[in-house]
Structure 1
Amino acid sequence: MSAHRVTIQDVAARAGVSRAAVSLALHDKPGLSDATRARILRIAESMGRPARGAPRQRSDTIALVLRRPARQLGLEPFYMEFVSGLESVVSDHSGALLLRLVKSLDEEIGLQGHWWRTGRIAGSVLVDFRPHDPRGPLLARLGLPAVAVAHPSLTGPFTARWTDDATAVDEAVRYLAALGHRAIARVGGAPELGHSAIRRAAFTRTMGALGLGVGQQTETDFSGASGARATRSLLTAVRRPTAIVYDNDLMAVAGLSVAAEMGLRVPADLSLLAWDDSQLCRLTHPTLSAMSHDIHAFGADVARTLYDILAGRCVTTRPVPTPTLVPRGSTAAPGAG
């Protein structure tokens, strides 16, 4: 007995939309919101219905989809540097980088699948992995060539490039403890992200190993506003920290402003340690100590790896260089100066 061929009517019934809406989605025609289009395509794919249209053609475009508000992305140094690294290699290959901002993981999965099935992209760079991330099995089953920017424990079948966040957190905490700090806090990023969980666990582990208790940790969305709120909360706590480690530069700069607002001297009353080491860290007063890594080179390495995959060359999962400590004016022994 032959298997039932999935029809447009079947997909429409499952998605709760009209047949016309399904047709628009499958043929990449205007008239639908991105979220609705992505949902229909995801449902069609799950039912075994491929998008119709022209046969797949070779593309020179690679995709990067980010789940970030547009306003926040424009202020976030990490992704600006990372994208510039990708672009430097893409341009060398006379290709193009397709960057799209979305609101949800489901929307990203729908778009990635649609772009791949219709031949719009040659492959993708996948970022912001969560534990048990569904993109690994779903997109790999489609045959999408991709490089995952995350620890390999999170990425499923994809080749991975990542930074050793656990080792970097350990170095940061041990450095502050060596300066004499005993009350150390961390302002982390989005709690659902895999690398945030890795950093959170490493912070707790190192604090315990040094006999400093579990330490104080608070989670944010990486924005300057949430970094400021988290810093204010820590500095008004009963046991105020004498040192804070931040998960990105933007929040560390915001923390520096909060310290000034509350009349605390940096580093005499409070040491601050940033992450990523963008130009922001060298434009503040005092300049910010940071866990530094070459984000532009990271992006370029990821893009080269993806092009190696597209060319059929053998690639392996491996880390990029671990962030290293760059001490500057924002860290010192408690009470120094």
Structure 2
Amino acid sequence: MARRPTIKDIARRAGVSESAVSFALNDRPGVSDGTRARVRRVAEELGWHPNSAARALAGERSGAVGLVLARPAHTLGVESFFLQLVSGIQEVLSAGRTALLFQVVDDIDAECALYRRWWAERRVDGVLVVDPRTQDPRPELLARLGLPAVTVGGTGAPGPLSSVWADDARAMARVVDHLHGLGHRRITHIAGLPGLAHTARRIASLRVEAAARGLGPREVHSVVTDYSDAEGAAATRRVLAEPEPPTALVYDNDVMAVAGSAVAAELGIAVPGRLSIVAWDDSALCRVTHPRLTALVRDTAGFGRLAAEELLTVLAGGPPRTREGEQPRLEPRESTAPPPAAY
């Protein structure tokens, strides 16, 4: 394996002292413009890059930001949301030559411990905090540590951290309005992980929208899952086996919606003839499934870009603030229709 080039190698090749190399590479006075240019050219030829650990010890930035995900690992490979979110984040960070340090952990306690270690070791300059909880210790911890952070998917209310958010309540209102307008009166929401703030907001919004239309918890309710296709399918089987099954199902992600559609087909329940299906997040899966699934369409990559831009603003000294992402729009497709008259 080739040895990594050092400052000594650059000094030898450029014909200058090691201190001159240090001055040149760190934009410090003490060398001429010509020497600075020659040193940088040699460093590039040798493939030299600064040691991030050494820079951290010197009090300089690490050049990286962190993203920790405390979710069941088996759900990550099938859900498109985080892939799109990270692609948007990476687009902004790459343009600024900032690295993204990503790690999956078991739970919120492990996530908090990782933040403490990263900050103590100066591994990251800031973090993007995803999946806000209803009872969330992370904002207070990060504020206490002094670790710059942006919450992705907050409520929009001011807090100790900057945040980017989307209005889940308005999005759910659009879904209920669509289904109710078609004539559906028995609607079940196959929700995501309990304890997540956006899960709670969607459930609460569903109740409010149902009550506004004279529908109670017997007709309209939510069941929670882990976002996986397996739990989405299992929840679908349970609710369709009820004495008065729903005529419409709203799934919190695309994967569960596709799994639910497959369960309906297996049970001989026609979509949308006897059952309407809505997916919260649109994806290629929703568009290639037969019938194509009605879905909430939003620019998830754009939401990631917004989050990364806000974190860079915070790192530049900007004050905490909230920024709202693009409002999702409902895209009606072939999976929703009026319920049969018998229902």
Question: Is the pair's TM-score, using the shorter chain for normalization, greater than 0.5?
Answer: yes
**1:11-30 CA distance string (max 9 Å, x none):** xxxxxxxxxxxxxxxxxxxx
Equivalent in the alignment of 2:250: 245
**Residues 105-184 of structure 1 aligned to structure 2 (within 5 Å):** 105-152=108-155, 156-184=159-187
Equivalent in the alignment of 1:292: 297
Deviation at 1:245, TM superposition (A): 0.6
Q: Could you state the TM-score of these two structures normalised by the residue count of structure 2?
A: 0.80
CA contact (8 A) 2:249 2:276 kept: yes
Aligned letter for 2:270? R
Partner Cα distance (1:311, 1:161) in 2: 17
Aligned letter for 1:266? V
**1:100-124 CA distance string (max 9 Å, x none):** 0000111111111211221110100
Q: CA RMSD in A?
A: 1.6
Aligned length: 284
Q: 1:305 to 1:219 in 2, by over 3 A?
A: same
Aligned letter for 1:72? T
Partner Cα distance (1:96, 1:307) in 2: 12
Deviates more, 1:61-70 or 1:73-82: 61-70
Same amino acid, percent of matched pairs: 47
Equivalent in the alignment of 1:185: 188
Aligned letter for 1:144? L
Give 3-state SS (helix, strand or coil) of 1:276's partner.
Answer: coil
Equivalent in the alignment of 2:278: 273
Partner Cα distance (1:229, 1:120) in 2: 41
**Residues 294-333 of structure 1 aligned to structure 2 (within 5 Å):** 294-314=299-319, 316-333=321-338
1:76 aligns with one of 75, 79, 84: 79
Give 3-state SS (helix, strand or coil) of 2:184's partner.
Answer: coil
The alignment status of 1:58 with 2:71, answered yes or no, reads no
**Residues 196-207 of structure 1 aligned to structure 2 (within 5 Å):** 196-207=199-210
**1:190-212 CA distance string (max 9 Å, x none):** 11111111110100111111112
Partner Cα distance (1:182, 1:70) in 2: 36
Deviation at 1:323, TM superposition (A): 1.3
Deviation at 1:154, TM superposition (A): 7.8
Q: 1:56 to 1:112 in 2, by over 3 A?
A: farther
Aligned letter for 2:197? G
Deviates more, 1:235-244 or 1:154-163: 154-163
CA contact (8 A) 1:222 1:247 kept: yes
Partner Cα distance (1:309, 1:316) in 2: 9
Q: 1:304 to 1:297 in 2, by over 3 A?
A: same
Aligned letter for 1:207? A
CA contact (8 A) 2:188 2:249 kept: yes
Deviation at 1:315, TM superposition (A): 5.8
Gaps of 5+ in 1: 1-52
Give 3-state SS (helix, strand or coil) of 1:81's partner.
Answer: helix
Partner Cα distance (1:317, 1:270) in 2: 39
Aligned letter for 1:307? L
Q: 1:139 to 1:315 in 2, by over 3 A?
A: closer
Equivalent in the alignment of 2:91: 88
Q: Could you state the TM-score of these two structures normalised by the residue count of structure 1?
A: 0.81
Partner Cα distance (2:240, 2:73) in 1: 30
Structure with greater Cα Rg: 2
Aligned letter for 2:148? P
Equivalent in the alignment of 1:97: 100
